[in-house]
Structure 1
Amino acid sequence: MITNASASARYQDMAVLTVGVEEEFLLLDPAAGDNVPLAERVRAGLPQRIRDRSRQEMRRSMMELVTGVCTDLRDLRDQLVDSRQVAADVADQVGARLVAIGATPVGEPDREVPAEPRYRDIVDRFGPVALDPAVCGMHVHVGIPERDLAVGVCNHLRVWLPVIQALTSNSPFFEGTDTGYASWRSVQLRRWPGVEPTPHFDTAAEYDATVTELVTAGVLLDEASVYWYARLSPTYPTVEIRVGDVCTDVDDAVLVAALVRAAVATAAADVTDGRPTPALRDCVVDAAHWRAARDGLSGQLIDLRLGQARPAWDLVDEFFATVSPALLASGDLSLVMDGLARLRYAGDGASRQRRLHSATGDIRVVLESLAGWTSAG
């Protein structure tokens, strides 16, 4: 049984871990559903407070919007709602829809990259892979400034990252048809060097040396090109979880942020207590992520502790039980319980899209609904 006393004792230093979220969105043609290269016009039309929290992306049909550093999830939610609603209004004014979806659902006629030296270097290095249609993720940063501790956290998270991936599944369509995957974004990104499950490292020095070797080998452009599913942010004193599709709506995004923060707090406490990480074979971890991309929450996931396929929601329930003490300590337990109940009822983003498509046979109806969910408060 979880008690306030037991939770507080183990997580007293973890309860107020900072959290921030980066969300990537597509700009779609309202009629055809194709991606439209209007990001620069949308960014130019944003009020300063939102423009300061926006980022240029390599695809000109993409918008990235970020929150500030938060400790209270109510503050995080307010920022997400504000950014989404304002950007959606500006997108509408320039003839586009802002849509939270993990992968290009119809097509991307314009794949010209912005005139930035880094983007040109990426195209020169990686060729056609760098010109793939846009994909959109959700990246959650949790403050862990001590780097050896952060590496240990990433090790402990490996067992649960496929579950987090499944919770965010939101990209079933590509070229107007159902791919059969809940997260086509996850499949598409595997063509990129550096996009893969996080390796196990014993120390931050080993982590840094490996990154240096990969840059020297030419597989990575620089440190910022490490796109492991959990990494030490090259910019902030955080652990960055970047395995998920952008979430359909704000409430799902807040739910995932709460679970990720609690998972990081739990992992940090395990590292501090000297608990060993599970011995996981990299090929099985990779298979678990493929299964999460394939099934989302609608089928089975791989339990990396047992090496067995199990119903997805059984693993979600066990993940929740594992991080519940941290959620109790941070005051987020009720929010997460309500969020998981809603997700269990409504399904992941991929399931919601498929239900609409099954009922109408029209991808444009799906995208119109997604646009509404994206900016709903």
Structure 2
Amino acid sequence: MVTTPLARDDTAAHVGRLPLTLGVEEEFLLIDPDSGTNVPLADEVVRGLQAAVQGHSRRELRRSMVEMVTPVCTDLSTLRVHLLRHRRAVGDAASAAGARLVAIGATPVAEPHRAVPPQQRYRAMTEHYGPVAADPAVCGCHIHVGVPDPHLVVEVCNRLRLWLPVVQALTANSPLYAGRDTGHASWRSVQLQRWPGVGPTPHFDSRRDYDETVAALVTSQVMLDEAMVYWYARPSATYPTVEVRVSDVCTDVDDTVLVAALVRALVATAVDEAYAGVPVPRVRDCVVAAAHWHAAHSGLDGTLTDLRLGTARPAWELVGDLFSTVESALREHGDLGFVRSRLARLRRVGNGATWQRRTLHRTGDLRAVLQELAERTVAG
């Protein structure tokens, strides 16, 4: 339990300046417009992008996925412009290639073609992990918040543990698999548990503790390299950021902006608590893992685990507690009004898992769900 305030050196003082920077990575699925099955057309789609947008695209393990990465942003309006521009550009390129772009957390029907791209890293992953690496595609949303201090970033990850199950529930958007409702709001979260590097971030006593643990996992060949640490919050292996990767990709662009605002506010609050010496609650890893399973199962349509109390509570009560916890940081970043209104809308209409189920129940037609997904993915 950390009780001593951190000293503010020059780097730390830089972290304390508002606004904290933001970047977002969104993964999208390419599906057949008629059958809804995944189609391996990522290369064709990326080649169809204009050069300015193509530079923000990334290859993934599955050929039915396209990832888009925003530039570094400091305000939500600029972030939204980039997100929407990328979605519409990839949506147009997908249509030209004979596919449909959807923002959904997991493969809803099937993925008959699972050959990996030719990159050496992907071949190594397939050889090492076998059938796990051949699972159908899953699509997440990764939020990067600028924290350049390598020691502070580890403590921030410790402090995020209490709240990431709530973020997971807010963004649950993958209830379907093999053409049916799985009974889980985020099937992506369940599917990813087969990977050894995925799950809640362990508590670390220091940056050295973190580095030694990651080195041991790589040396033991559980992970191929440091980049395969896929914990729900981690010091980015590429950027001077905290990377939060617990969320399903959101279908509505404004829900992506919402989760980015909440995650930035959580990070800012964690930084302030670290400097003030607020103790870090220590919760057993198995209890944190259970809270994440609960969030993946129930989403917002039931209860969630309050890790502060160790009890189940109505999901929207915990969302309210999250909002209260980060309200000051939201206000300081100028995000309070947007987040308040977007949360109110989310409570009225439900998250992605809720409205997918509602559409499926109303129409009895999976194709209607996929059509709505495609339309909402590029709507502004």
Q: TM-score, normalised by structure 1?
A: 0.96
Counterpart of 2:125?
A: 122
Q: What pairs with 1:36-47 in structure 2 (closer than 5 Å)?
A: 36-47=39-50
Tell me the CA shift for residue 11 of structure 1.
12
Question: One-letter code of the match for 2:118?
Answer: A
Question: Equivalent residues in 2 for 1:1-377 (5 A)?
Answer: 13-377=16-380
Kindly provide the amino acid, as one letter, of the partner of residue 363 in structure 1: L
**Residue deviations 1:86-135, cap 9 Å, x none?**
11011011110110000000000000000110000001110000000000
Q: Residue 182 of structure 1 aligns to which amino acid in structure 2?
A: A
Partner Cα separation in structure 1 for residue 270 and residue 79 of structure 2:
22
Q: CA deviation at 1:49?
A: 1.2
Shift of 1:367: 0.5
Tell me, in whole angstroms, the C-alpha distance in 2 between the residues paired with 1:120 and 1:176: 29
Percent sequence identity is 62
Following the alignment from structure 1 to structure 2, what is the Cα–Cα distance between the partners of residues 199 and 161?
13
Secondary structure at the residue paired with 1:244? strand
Which secondary structure state, in structure 1, belongs to the residue aligned with residue 142 of structure 2?
strand
Give the length in aligned residue pairs. 368
Q: Take 1:285 and 1:357, find their aligned partners in 2: how far apart are those partners?
A: 32
Q: Assess if the C-alpha contact under 8 Å between 1:14 and 1:265 holds in 2.
A: no
Q: Is the 1:138–1:245 contact (alpha carbons within 8 Å) kept by the matching residues of 2? A: yes
Instruction: Show CA shifts across 1:214-244 (max 9, x none).
Output: 0001110100000000000000000000000
Following superposition, the deviation at residue 203 of structure 1 comes to 1.0
- 2:15–2:147: 8 Å Cα contact kept in structure 1? no
State the Cα deviation string for residues 52-97 of structure 1 (Å, max 9, x = none). 0000001000000110000011100000000001110110111101
Q: Which amino acid aligns with 1:133?
A: P
User: How far is 1:15 from its partner?
Assistant: 2.8
Residue 15 of structure 1 contacts residue 326 of structure 1 at CA under 8 Å; is this kept in 2?
no
TM-superposed deviation, 1:292: 0.2
CA contact (8 A) 1:197 1:285 kept: yes
TM-score by length of 2: 0.96
Change (3 A) 1:344 1:41: same
The answer to whether the 8 Å contact 2:15/2:146 transfers is: no
Task: Quote the offset at 1:205 in angstroms.
Answer: 1.1
Given that residues 60 and 113 in structure 1 are in contact (C-alpha distance below 8 angstroms), is that contact kept between their aligned partners in structure 2?
A: yes
Distance apart, 1:13 and its partner CA: 2.3
2:327 counterpart letter in structure 1:
S
**Runs (5+) with no aligned partner, structure 2:** 1-12
**Is the deviation greater in 201-210 or in 301-310?**
201-210
